[in-house]
């Protein structure tokens, strides 16, 4: 049975896609069977692999997560291989799909029903969520056992974190009693700055978040941004970089914490 993780933050630019991409690659390098689900209409995770399910630039339109959610195809039919991993790609019409999904009874459970059909085929399923607490994000939390919150050490980060925790508590109480916070992951971290250190200290001493931060920090590294632009993981693009080192350590921490070792 796969461990399913929702990678979620209701703010944009917090490193969700970078984390899904490179955590998945690090787990794959450890011999784990990994499925990545692109749940964002911006399709950045799909684009990082050069996959265009929307059919732009003269390419044929592919089956995508939108077709799966609307029951147009089984989930297996829409999954594509991307190197040693598997990907359920997104489409730029996913917001239209979400609008249609809102009229469905039990709409919050649609992704879980599909993932349950293939979870024995993978060790890890990582869901890259949109930058909002929408029907799609709720679907990801209902389908997951754990959620990871990538976060930058910056002003107002706590505001978004509070909203995510409130939403996850409601999902746990009403729809998914198995849901737990795996941890808060600091990304794009410049550890030497006083401000970064102050944010980390404030969070680690906050009673609500005590013990809920990952020990691994993802340091700021241009290789993480460049690798996706070249349709590569950081391990392919710059295997000796800080980004590769940090995501490898994060994958090890996650496996130690949740099993599948």
- Residue range 55-105, pLDDT digits in tens: 776 677 899 999 999 999 999 999 999 999 999 999 999 999 999 999 889
> Does residue 89 contact residue 53 with C-beta atoms inside 8 Å?
yes
- Window from 115-124, 203-212, 213-222 with minimum mean pLDDT: 203-212
Residue corresponding to tokens 């359920």: 88
Residue corresponding to tokens 């107002």: 156
Instruction: Give whole-number Cα distances, 165 to 13, 133, 140, 215, in Å.
Output: 19, 11, 14, 20
pLDDT at 14 (0 to 100): 77
Range of the domain at 14: 3-258
Q: Rounded to whole angstroms, how far apart are CA atoms 64 and 211?
A: 37
How many domains are contained in the chain? 1
pLDDT tops 70 at residue 158: no
Average pLDDT over residues 11-27: 91
Q: Rounded to whole angstroms, how far apart are CA atoms 239 and 141?
A: 32
Mean of the per-residue pLDDT values of the chain: 90
Provide the sign of the torsion angle of the four alpha carbons 83, 88, 91, 95, taken in this order.
negative
pLDDT at 57 (0 to 100): 65
pLDDT at 154 (0 to 100): 67
pLDDT tops 90 at residue 33: yes
pLDDT at 191 (0 to 100): 67
CATH assignment at residue 159: 3.40.50.300
pLDDT tops 60 at residue 261: no
> Does residue 224 contact residue 16 with C-beta atoms inside 8 Å?
no
Q: Rounded to whole angstroms, how far apart are CA atoms 64 and 20?
A: 18
The pTM assigned to this predicted structure is: 0.93
Residue corresponding to tokens 């795996």: 182
From 91, 21, 78, select the one nearest 52 (Cα to Cα): 91
pLDDT digits (tens, 9 = 90+) for 116-135: 999 999 999 999 999 888 99
């Amino acid at each position: 049975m796969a461990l399913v993780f929702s990678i979620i933050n209701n703010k944009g630019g917090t490193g969700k896609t970078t984390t899904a991409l490179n955590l998945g690659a690090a787990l794959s390098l450890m011999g784990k069977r990994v499925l990545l689900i692109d749940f964002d209409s911006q399709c950045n995770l799909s684009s990082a692999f050069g996959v265009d399910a929307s059919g732009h630039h003269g390419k044929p339109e592919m089956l995508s997560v939108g077709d799966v959610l609307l029951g147009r195809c089984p989930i297996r039919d829409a999954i594509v291989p991307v190197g040693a991993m598997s990907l359920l790609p997104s489409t730029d019409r996913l917001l239209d799909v979400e609008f249609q999904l809102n009229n469905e009874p039990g709409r919050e459970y649609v992704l879980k029903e599909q993932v349950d059909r293939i979870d024995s085929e993978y060790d890890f399923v990582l869901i890259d969520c949109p930058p909002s607490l929408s029907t799609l994000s709720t679907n990801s939390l209902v389908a997951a056992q754990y959620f990871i919150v990538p976060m930058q050490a910056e002003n107002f980060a706590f505001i978004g974190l509070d909203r995510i925790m409130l939403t996850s508590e409601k999902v746990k109480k009403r729809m998914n009693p198995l849901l737990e916070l795996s941890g808060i992951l600091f990304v794009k971290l410049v550890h030497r700055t006083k401000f970064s250190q102050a944010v980390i200290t404030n969070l680690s001493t906050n009673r609500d978040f005590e013990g809920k931060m990952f020990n691994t920090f993802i340091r700021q590294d241009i290789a993480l941004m460049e690798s996706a632009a070249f349709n590569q993981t950081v391990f392919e693009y710059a295997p000796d970089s800080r980004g590769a080192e940090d995501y490898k350590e994060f994958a090890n921490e996650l496996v130690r914490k949740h099993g599948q070792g």
